[in-house]
Amino acid sequence: MMRPIAAVVLAAAVTLPTLGEAQQFVRRDRFDIPIFPVDANTFEVVENDGAGGTALWCAAGVYTRETLGQRGGSLYILKGRSDSERIRGRKSVIFTTQPVDGAFSSFSQGVRRAGKVFSMAHAYALCRGTPRLTVNIRENRL
């Protein structure tokens, strides 16, 4: 019969290499998200590659900062997640930098309800706050 200490050492020797291999696996989420300008302050962000709310807010923050050149203020959902106005069969969210009626704050990164507001800095920080999230925006003009 094996002694208790020897059993623990043997179990550790068998288990530790497996844990080390599991920790080496890092999954990166990469999204290529199309964006369509509506006007100077409003744009449609189209879901792509399985992107969820966090990636859509991130894309809106990146677009607002890098394309619209705005760093301060707020981002509002003008039209919550629904059928895309530009790409048939896809879902999208329409964001704006202009205040909307019924605006409300939330800790959730959901994109289903019109009126939800995040600061532009918060939306942009969602990209950097998630080290495994890479969002490439693709501006499209019609």
Q: Judge contact between 56 and 45, C-beta under 8 A.
A: yes
For the chain, the residue count is: 142
**What is the pTM for the complete model shown?**
0.75
Query: Which sequence spans correspond to the domains of the chain?
Result: 29-139
Residue 14 backbone class (left: φ over 0; alpha: ψ -120 to 50; beta: rest): alpha
Kindly tell me the burial class for residue 92, based on how many C-beta atoms sit within 10 Å of its own C-beta (0-12, 13-18, 19 or more). Answer: buried
**DSSP code string of 49-103:** TT--HHHHHHHHHHHHHHTS---SSEEEEEEEEEE-SSSTT-EEEEEESS--TT-
Q: What is the pLDDT along the chain (142 residues), one digit of tens a residue?
A: 556 665 555 555 555 445 444 444 444 567 888 999 999 999 999 998 788 898 899 999 989 998 899 989 999 999 999 999 999 999 999 999 999 999 999 888 889 999 999 999 999 888 876 555 667 767 777 6
